[in-house]
Structure 1
């Protein structure tokens, strides 16, 4: 375990990569419900915007198979222009890799499709280059549940840290008295976090402290 594993994520240290979040690839996802996956990715995108994380969106085969970045994700990332590439590995595309490194952030958070390919390849390559990498497992999709799990296990064995979108949000917020991000972070939870979000909305509407 490196020292970085002992420190909680801070917005100033992190950069977020969305790899191939495209409908043509989402059609093949069987490791998680597609609507659940889209919900989680949009929540993660909104989280990045709320906390001011640099975001790199990289796409592939947009004209021949995969299509553009999914509209709901694009809408959650105003101003982010996807970088299209030919290689399955984001890290082997000079423009994508250099965009990530140019941020100067050494903690890379990754969400993408497919877990067995474009996610794994980018994560393993970024680890080899010395970055600290967090894989948002519930914002990635695999062709099968087994393939997704095996890919996550391989990445973890190589040094990546598996996490979830809600843990990313809560870890970056950490204190609900951080007023500059409170309203937006809470709105993301209420809209996307299922029962937890319902509970927050209930607390807001029904519990009135004296």
Structure 2
């Protein structure tokens, strides 16, 4: 039985994390910031567990937008992983970022970041035009208003982007609890996945009885 080609797997995509910085977060009102940070932590943790090629990019980090979220630095410390700083609002138009994204040679690209209507829409539509399959983690993105976020998602979906969520992303990579990554994924879910994670913790404890 062959799984659908549209499903994400650890070996078939690149993850691009865009502008998770203080200046962008201050004006984000489409999602509660704590929820957004948890979803970002889950995505980053999952990408590390499954060794996904992950590109971290910022905009004007030292003079405008500031450092990235602690949830990203925890999994991708700057001493060990490169961060690409840009001036362009469209990551796809920055030569260094573009080359880093296409270098792994994956035809599927997963994106998440701030803000949805600018820093996600622009590279998502650009990647689509170059023939890539593009997935956007909707609840790990945010914008200045719910309206801005939702209209941006609508625009991308109409163009062919596939919307997913943070929990869906990590579980789609796991897909079978018999795989050796199950313990690490379970730990991530219990930490970041809200009531689902609490449910996993409850089940582990209570099923012992």
TM-score range, shorter chain: over 0.9
Deviation at 1:145, TM superposition (A): 0.1
Match of 1:106 in 2: 107
Deviation at 1:5, TM superposition (A): 7.4
Is the 2:57–2:97 Cα contact (8 Å) retained in structure 1? Answer: yes
Match of 1:24 in 2: 23
In 2, distance between residues paired with 1:29 and 1:48? 24
**What does 1:17-166 correspond to in 2, within 5 Å?**
17-78=16-77, 79-166=80-167
In 2, distance between residues paired with 1:5 and 1:19? 28
- When the two chains are superposed, the root-mean-square deviation of aligned CA atoms in Å is 1.4
Matched residue count: 205
Is the 2:60–2:86 Cα contact (8 Å) retained in structure 1? Answer: yes
Match of 1:196 in 2: 196
In 1, distance between residues paired with 2:11 and 2:48? 13
> Please, which runs of 5 or more residues in structure 2 have no aligned partner?
none
Match of 2:174 in 1: 173
Deviations 1:150-181 (A, max 9, x none): 000000111100000100111110110102x1
Partner secondary structure for residue 30 of structure 1: coil
Deviations 1:63-116 (A, max 9, x none): 222002222311122432210011000000000010010011111110100011
> Please, which runs of 5 or more residues in structure 1 have no aligned partner?
none
Give every structure 1 segment of 4 or more consecutive aligned residues whose post-TM-superposition deviation is greater than 6 Å. none
Is the 1:46–1:77 Cα contact (8 Å) retained in structure 2? Answer: no
In 2, distance between residues paired with 1:7 and 1:114? 26
In 2, distance between residues paired with 1:54 and 1:112? 16
Is the 2:40–2:71 Cα contact (8 Å) retained in structure 1? Answer: no
